[in-house]
């Protein structure tokens, strides 16, 4: 739990790079108020998420992006969990054995990975952390990796 005074301080936007550079690279990482964050530019939009996967702390900035069920998802390089860029939902495939066709359908596990707000001002990109009062599963790994350098491989 974050104290109210600390919450206010952590809600200020932090510069993470030039718009042109991030668009060219399509992703970058930054430390925002001590938190490892990955910023993606995909399909004409910016997204920011906690860098460490909610499952076991995998480095999401090293994953591939895929379109799943109409949503852009980052695929964690460690165990291939699928996480929507927009909302941080964990997706999985489920089969209803009572259905005769039994075709797997994509389902949501809920918002497991914390997402953050990205703003662009005069060619500069900023990330504002989301409200840390409501617990998300990726908070555990955000805290665990807080003092480490962001992995390059």
Which positions touch ligand FES (CB under 6 A)?
53, 55-58, 76, 78-79, 81
CB of 72 to ligand FES, least distance (A): 17
Closest CB to ligand FES among residues 126, 145 = 145
Write down the least CB distance from residue 77 to ligand FES, Å. 8
Q: Toward ligand FES, which CB reaches closer, 35 or 55?
A: 55
**Separation of alpha carbons 16 and 90, rounded Å:** 25
- Sequence length of the chain is 153
What's the min distance (Å) between Cβ of 76 and ligand FES?
Answer: 3
Q: Are strands 89-94 and 105-111 parallel, antiparallel or unpaired?
A: antiparallel
Measured from the CB atom, is 22 or 82 closer to ligand FES?
A: 82
Q: What is the DSSP string of 60-115?
A: GGGSEEEEETTEEEEEPTTT--EEETTT-EEEEEE--TTSSS---EEEEEEE-S-E
- Cβ–Cβ contacts within 10 Å for residue 115, how many? 21
Nearer to ligand FES, 55 or 114 (CB): 55
Work out how close the CB of 49 gets to ligand FES at its nearest, in angstroms, rounded to a whole number.
Answer: 12
In degrees and rounded to multiples of 5, residue 35 shows phi and psi of: -110, 135
């Amino acid at each position: 739990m974050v104290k109210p005074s600390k919450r206010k301080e952590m809600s200020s936007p932090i510069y993470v790079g030039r718009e042109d550079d991030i668009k060219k690279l399509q992703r970058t990482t930054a430390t925002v108020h001590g938190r490892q964050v990955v910023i993606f530019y995909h399909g004409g939009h910016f997204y920011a998420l906690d860098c460490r996967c909610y499952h076991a702390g995998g480095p999401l900035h090293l994953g591939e992006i895929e379109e799943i069920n109409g949503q852009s998802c980052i695929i964690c390089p460690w165990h291939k969990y699928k996480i929507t860029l927009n909302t941080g939902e964990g997706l999985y495939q489920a089969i209803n054995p009572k259905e005769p066709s039994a075709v797997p359908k994509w389902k949501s596990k809920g918002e497991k990975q914390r997402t953050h707000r990205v703003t662009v001002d005069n060619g500069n990109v900023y990330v504002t952390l989301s409200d840390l009062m409501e617990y998300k599963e990726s908070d555990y790994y955000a805290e665990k990796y807080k003092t480490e350098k962001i992995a390059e491989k």
